Every structure is written in C-alpha cells, then in structure tokens.
Amino acid sequence: MKLTRRNFLNTAGLLGASALAAGSVPTSALAATGKARTPRVQLGACTYSYWHLEGPKVPIETCMDKLGALGVAGVDILHRQMELPEREPLTSAHRAYLHQLKRHAFRCGVAPVCLSSHQTFLTPDPAVLNDNVEHTKKCIEICYELGIPTMRINTGRWGTTPDFDVLMKNRGIEPMLPGHTEEEGFKWVIDGITRCLSKAEECGVVLALENHWGLARTPEGQLRILNAIPSPWLGALMDTGNFLENPYSKLELIAPRTVYVQAKTYPGGGVWYTLDLDYDRIARILADANYTGWVSLEMEGKQDADKAVSDSIKMLRKKFAV
C-alpha cells in the first residue's frame, strides 16, 4: 500500500486505539484523554532489613546481591552500615569505596534510591548543632557520589532517655531538656535543616524528614517543621510503623507531603513492638494522595532475614501491584 498522509493518520489512530485498549498508552496520553491517572510506585528495600544495628555488620554489597536476586528495583542504604567513619570528612579513599558500591549496585541491577542517615538537630548547644549540620552535609555528598536522589533525616531526640529500649517502652515519648521548651526545640530543628538545604540543592538530593522519635513523632510536629521550611528540596518520609496509635488517620495527614516511604514489617515479632499493618489500606492512602515514588521495605522482625525479606517483598508486590 502506498503510504499517504491520510493512510498514515488512519493507521496511527487505529494503533492508538488498540494501545489504549491494551492499557499500554503512556500516562501523558491518558491524561490527554481525560482518564484518571493511576498512581505508580516502585519497590525497594532497606539494607537495615538485613542488619538491625546489632552483631556483625551485613555488608552493603551482600544486601545488594540478595535484593538483586529477589528482583527488587531499589536499595535504601543505612549509613551506619557502610564501611565509612561516621563523622570524618570524605576522603579520596572514601569516595573510591562509594564508587565501588555504585558499580556493585549496577552489576546487581538495583538502583541506590535513598540513604538513611542519623543526626540530631534537637540541641541547644551551637557546637553540637553545627557538628550535626556538617555531618548531614557529608551524607548529602555521599548521596551525590552514589547517585542517590533522596536522603532520610530525623529531628533527633531530647536525649533525656539515653536507653533506647526504655524509650520504646515509653512509646517514643521522653521529657524535654530541663530549662528548655518545645518552642525552642522546633527553632533549633528548623534552623538545622534549613542550613542543609543549599547543599541538598547543590547535589540534587531531596531531604525526607521521617516521622521518627523526637519532634516529628506526631504528624502535627512533622508538618509544622515542613510548613516552616517551604523548599522543593524537603519533604516527608512516611515510615508506616512509627505512628504507634491510630496510624491510618495520621498517615493520611502526611501522605500529601510524602516523597519517600519506608514500609515496616515484623515477621517473627518485632524487636521493640509489633504492628499489624493493613497494607491494602496504606496503599489506598498513598494512591488517594497521588503518590508515585518509592516504597522501600524495612523489615524489623526477628525471623531469619532471608525468608522474612523475601516474604515481605511478595506481600508488598501484591498490595501495591508492582
């Protein structure tokens, strides 16, 4: 058949209709038809799932090997699990180590998608605050070296309950520092995070503030900080297991600001507590908020990690249809 402009347009129209019926039209094309866009997520897993900060470290490379074998798309790296000094500036040797990790991830077929860092901005001591700002900036540089687009940050804790086991018995609640107020605490945290944002923008890394212990233990506290810092380089990290009471209404509050999700599971029972989380409901909460980012497994159970991670990944694949 001779190709004419009329034949081409007729053929293209038929192909487009067939593709639409088969569900293979890009979302941009679906948007043009007026059809609702189905939120998409990608599945990752945290290296913390294989090492809960106790006993010999499980090498990051080993975690990547295991996740690659499971067909998991992304890896969320726990900073404390890396073979790096926590507080020293990055050296050429450190960067060489990071580049080897990046190559290993590539060979395993997993993408480094998040670095889970630790810091505390909840301190009245300017020297301590500055040290944590510099530490956070170094972690942002680690993300840059690995090509990681987002980094988990925390507010830190008051530090009045040094024993973490005791803190967990108290449901993450601890007294404020004597002589100080919560208002002061929010000021310190907002100042600390703000001082990190220029480095985040320079390196192209989105900071994700977790609903963790400290001032972000409640959705109101987490959102107060986010609303005080209107930056495209800062958003919420939704940890599905960190709201211990009435979690779903609280997850709904932070879902519109969420840029990254860590999905807790507890095979064999949790180390500190166990939540029976309804992931059908959580998936709906995220879909209703039009969330289209990463959902990374954070297995925190006592069961053998290989079986627990594999079973948890299967469950999340089913719940999020990935």
Q: Which domains does the chain have, with CATH numbers?
A: 41-320 (3.20.20.150)
Q: Would you say residue 88 has pLDDT above 50?
A: yes
Residues in a beta bridge with 44: 74, 296
Confidence of residue 108 (pLDDT cuts 50, 70, 90): very high
DSSP 117-149: -------S-HHHHHHHHHHHHHHHHHHHHHT--
Q: Amino acid identity of 233?
A: W
Instruction: Report, as an integer, the average pLDDT of 311-316.
Output: 98
Q: Give yes or no for a contact between 130 and 94, defined as CB atoms under 8 angstroms apart.
A: no
Point out which residues pair with 301 in neighbouring strands: 270
pLDDT for 176 beyond 80:
yes
The structure tokens listed for 15 are 């192909």
pLDDT tens figures, 199-253? 999 999 999 999 999 999 999 999 999 999 999 999 999 999 999 999 999 999 9
Beta strands in 83-195 (DSSP E): 111-116, 150-153
Could you give the CA distance from residue 205 to residue 203 in angstroms, rounded to a whole number? Answer: 6
